[in-house]
Amino acid sequence: MFLPIVAFYIVFKYTPMLGLIIAFKNYNFYDGIWGSPWVGVDNFNHLFTQSQSAQIIRNTLFLSVLSVFVSFPFPIMLAIMLNEVRKMWFKKAVQTLVYLPHFFSWVIVGGIVITLFSQSGVINGLLTKLTGGEPFAFLFHEWSWVSIFLGSGVWKDAGFNAIIYLAALTTIDPSLYEAASIDGGGKWKQMWHVTLPGLSPTIVIMLILAMGRVMEVGFDQVYTLQNSIVSNISQVISTYIYEIGLQGGQFSLTAALGLFESLVAFTLVIITNAIAKRFNKALW
């Protein structure tokens, strides 16, 4: 039963790694991967001497770190709140509503967000009626664009990610809650001293995995929400690879950038796991 999974990772994950060799070549279609001339680290030198590359890497780190630390607590809080609900009909209704956005593509979610926050959208319509002021261009100011980017990510994925924590909550021994209640601990103290310690192994694992994706700002989300006005903050590695690599044909340069992205992510995973090991919560 495990063989299809092994085959999937070999074919779609490990075999494509051979293509990283073009990061060290001047790749062209005529000569192919193996026949293209070898240039060593010239692509990396060219990449890191461009001022635009530094800005793109900075934007990627900024948005990724913000996404991790802003969106990471929401699935935990949502799972704890859902776990405390005793009316099953209400719990199921809320679960359905918060899980549903995950199954929408970013094209749909991006369209909804743009419709809501455009200058002629619902949000501006309500604000102008309540305040009598002028419409505000939420999508054309960097700070508001970042807020919308983070909020849309939380809205789309928090409900689905909460499933993992809800599963982890089922492994906590109910007698611990009973003992805490007998000792006079209310709901808040039970959450702090029983629920969160019980979730801590899962939280650490999810944090390590999240740190491995720090350099991977979702292409779909950024591409559907970005515009030229906020390109100083919205141009990230994934969109740069699409524009320069696929549309511009500079495959070697973007392969070098992709390899750099993977090495940074690998380093962050190792560092995060090493820190977690000090608290006996390491992944390996």
Nearest in space to 234 (alpha carbons), one of 62, 23, 5, 4 = 62
pTM of the model: 0.84
Measured between alpha carbons, how far is 276 from 205 in angstroms, rounded to an integer? Answer: 9
Tell me the CATH number of domain 53-277, given options 2.170.190.11, 3.40.50.300, 1.10.3720.10, 3.40.50.720.
1.10.3720.10
What percentage of residues in the chain have a pLDDT greater than 90?
30
Which residue in this structure is represented by tokens 């789309």?
Answer: 156
Residue 145 has pLDDT above 90, yes or no: yes
Distances in Å between the Cα of 63 and the Cα atoms of 71, 93, 112, 183 are 11, 32, 21, 44
Token pair belonging to 272: 């995060």
List Cβ neighbours of 262 (8 Å cut-off, separation of 6 or more).
215
Question: Given this model, what pLDDT does residue 186 score?
Answer: 85
Where in the chain are the domains?
1-40, 53-277
Nearest in space to 152 (alpha carbons), one of 125, 115, 122, 121 = 115
Question: Given this model, what pLDDT does residue 151 score?
Answer: 93
List Cβ neighbours of 154 (8 Å cut-off, separation of 6 or more).
70, 71, 74
CA dihedral 110, 112, 116, 122 (to 10 degrees): 170
Give the side-chain half-sphere CA count within 13 A for 201.
Answer: 9
Measured between alpha carbons, how far is 166 from 92 in angstroms, rounded to an integer? Answer: 13
Nearest in space to 205 (alpha carbons), one of 117, 144, 277, 282 = 282
Token pair belonging to 157: 């994925």
Nearest in space to 137 (alpha carbons), one of 122, 118, 152, 115 = 118
Residue 231 has pLDDT above 80, yes or no: yes
Distances in Å between the Cα of 120 and the Cα atoms of 112, 134, 226 are 13, 11, 18
**DSSP structural state of residue 243:** I
Q: Any alpha helices (H) in 134-218, and if so which ranges?
A: 142-169, 174-182, 187-190, 196-212
Arithmetic mean of pLDDT, 209-230:
85
Residue 248 has pLDDT above 80, yes or no: yes
Residue 147's pLDDT band (cuts 50, 70, 90): very high
- The tens digit of pLDDT for each residue in 68-101 reads 888 889 999 999 999 888 888 898 899 889 999 9
Arithmetic mean of pLDDT, 238-263:
86
Token pair belonging to 40: 């060593």
Arithmetic mean of pLDDT, 92-118:
91
Nearest in space to 263 (alpha carbons), one of 57, 66, 35 = 57
Arithmetic mean of pLDDT, 179-188:
86
Arithmetic mean of pLDDT, 26-42:
88
Question: Given this model, what pLDDT does residue 108 score?
Answer: 92
